[in-house]
């Protein structure tokens, strides 16, 4: 940086950093419930980055990501969720890393570079401050000139404050004008340690995004060439292991066909359908993941000597058996949900199982298309990102509440009695479902309990929307339903 060049771009970025930090203070500081302002701040942030660094969106992939980020900011105006916030942060980091990598990257490098960017938020401002000090020194100002200037300003500023106070005492009109100023508000801004920490934290992160000067990670390879599988597996032992695994998995899948899919099997004493469905849902997913790891290890491109037509056919059957195992786990979970109720964790488990099944099929695609492990990782990462992105636009709380009330035992469903406490945990998103439940109940006792829960959620919604910062489009629609 030249001595005469405390660059206009640096000054512009500094101004943008202070402005965005000021907006963050206005929107969030001292306000526990986030609302549409989270989406507005996200929109301002991505817009500022793209305006001050046009090269970020020079290529098509970056333009797609920037558009997706704007859509996420709109989603946050509707309902700011943690998942949406984390995906937005990941999208911003991806945009910066893509530009720095000149748009050639893989999922592993992206993760490592995103970590480097995150760590740099703690130090970028300090590095730039040191560079600015050096630039000022090159201007050949007197040594200690800046510090001396600050010291020299203390006396006139203090004396000016004394004059203003004396004039306010001597001039009633001026005194009344000064009295109308909310001095407590300004004192809270300038004297609050919490507010200074808030500003410092936001400013450090925003500055690091405006000045992404992190070092890139070294390229990595996901080949297993150095594992040395020849010491414990051969072409024949691989075929033998696949035959053995197929037999074991066929037995397990046979039990599922008998007890789960057809319902013709006789359960042992003390076990019912729901218990059988719930028992194996998660262990079977672990089994499928271990199987996938074994296939990746033995069918890596570096282990070509282990390949044979028999091994390829057997691994295809085995992977498909694993897919059936995962589908059975999904069916087990759905049956358990039908007998009991739906929760956030069970929704997450179903999504996770679907991803595992798709990942297994992608392993087969990798084998038959003769792709690398890095290709497999990249495709899985894209699928995961796409699925999580779609989840940002879904009202899972409302869906869970709707399912539970319509399957509640009180209304003739196969599920258990409605859990009002869990609906309270879901919050105002459950209001439409609970309103429908309340309107269709005939039992006076349950109707009274539903009315109390509905009133609690309406009160919480009123508190959430009392501040204009907490307003969202979804809360506005829920308020309309609550007032019916």
The CA distance from 148 to 379, in Å, is 59
Q: Phi, psi at residue 53, to the nearest 5°?
A: -130, 75
Residues in the chain: 484
Contact in structure between 277 and 353 (CB atoms under 8 Å): no
The CA distance from 192 to 202, in Å, is 16
CA-nearest of 4, 90, 16 to 53 is 16
| Dihedral sign of CA atoms 432, 438, 439, 441 in order | positive
Domain segments of the chain as ranges: 233-371, 396-482
Each residue's pLDDT expressed in tens, for the chain with a length of 484 residues: 444 444 547 778 888 999 999 999 888 887 767 789 999 999 999 999 999 988 888 888 899 999 999 999 999 999 889 999 999 999 999 999 988 887 667 888 888 888 888 888 877 777 777 666 555 555 554 555 555 555 556 667 677 666 666 666 666 766 667 666 655 555 566 667 778 888 888 988 999 898 888 888 887 666 655 555 555 677 788 888 889 989 988 988 887 787 767 655 566 666 665 565 555 556 767 787 788 888 877 777 767 777 788 888 988 998 898 899 888 888 888 888 888 889 998 899 899 889 988 988 998 998 889 888 888 888 999 999 999 999 999 999 999 999 999 988 888 877 788 899 999 999 899 999 999 998 888 777 888 888 898 888 888 888 877 778 888 888 888 887 766 6
Burial state string for 204-240 with b = 16 or more CB within 10 A and e = fewer than 16? bbbbbbbbbebeebeeeebebeeeebeeebeeeebbe
Q: Which residues have CB under 8 Å from 306's CB, separation 6+?
A: 229, 233, 234, 235, 238, 298, 299
């Amino acid at each position: 940086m030249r001595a005469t060049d405390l660059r206009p771009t640096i000054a512009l970025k500094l101004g943008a950093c202070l402005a965005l930090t000021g907006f963050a203070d206005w929107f969030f500081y001292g306000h526990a419930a986030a609302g549409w302002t989270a989406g507005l701040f996200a929109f301002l942030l991505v817009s500022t980055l793209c305006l001050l660094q046009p090269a970020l969106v020079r290529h098509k992939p970056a333009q797609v990501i920037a558009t997706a980020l704007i859509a996420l900011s709109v989603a946050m105006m509707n309902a700011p969720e943690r998942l949406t916030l984390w995906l937005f942060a990941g999208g911003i980091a991806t945009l910066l890393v893509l530009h720095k990598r000149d748009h050639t990257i893989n999922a592993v490098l992206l993760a490592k570079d995103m970590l480097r960017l995150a760590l740099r938020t703690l130090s970028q401002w300090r590095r730039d401050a040191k560079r600015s000090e050096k630039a000022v020194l090159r201007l050949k100002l007197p040594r200690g000139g800046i510090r001396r200037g600050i010291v020299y300003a203390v006396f006139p500023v203090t004396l000016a404050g004394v004059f203003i106070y004396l004039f306010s005492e001597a001039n009633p009109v001026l005194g009344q004008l000064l009295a109308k100023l909310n001095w407590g508000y300004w004192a809270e801004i300038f004297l609050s340690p919490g507010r200074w920490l808030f500003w410092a934290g936001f400013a450090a992160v925003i500055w690091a995004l405006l000045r992404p000067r992190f070092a890139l990670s070294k390229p990595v390879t996901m080949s297993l060439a150095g594992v040395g599988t020849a010491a414990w597996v051969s072409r024949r032992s691989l075929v033998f292991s696949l035959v053995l695994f197929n037999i074991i998995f066929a037995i397990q899948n046979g039990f599922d066909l008998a007890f789960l899919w057809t319902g013709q099997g006789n359960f042992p004493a003390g076990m019912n359908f729901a218990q059988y469905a719930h028992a194996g849902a998660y262990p079977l997913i672990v089994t499928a993941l271990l199987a996938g790891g074994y296939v990746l290890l033995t069918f890596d491109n570096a282990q070509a000597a282990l390949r044979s037509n028999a091994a390829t056919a057997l691994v295809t059957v085995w992977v498909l058996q694993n897919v059936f195992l995962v589908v059975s786990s999904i069916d087990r979970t759905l049956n358990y949900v039908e007998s009991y109720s739906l929760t956030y964790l069970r929704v997450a488990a179903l999504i996770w199982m679907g991803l595992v099944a798709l990942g297994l099929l992608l392993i087969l695609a990798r084998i038959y298309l003769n792709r690398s492990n890095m290709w497999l990782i990249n495709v899985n990462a894209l699928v995961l990102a796409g699925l999580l992105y779609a989840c940002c636009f879904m009202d899972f709380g409302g869906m869970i509440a709707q399912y539970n009330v319509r399957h509640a035992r009180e209304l003739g469903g196969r599920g258990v009695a409605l859990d009002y406490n869990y609906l309270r945990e879901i919050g105002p998103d459950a209001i439409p479902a609970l309103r429908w439940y309340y309107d269709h109940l005939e039992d006076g006792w349950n109707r009274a309990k539903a009315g109390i829960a509905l009133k609690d959620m309406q009160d919480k919604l009123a508190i959430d929307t009392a501040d204009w910062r907490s307003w969202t489009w979804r809360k506005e629609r829920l308020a309309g339903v609550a007032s019916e």
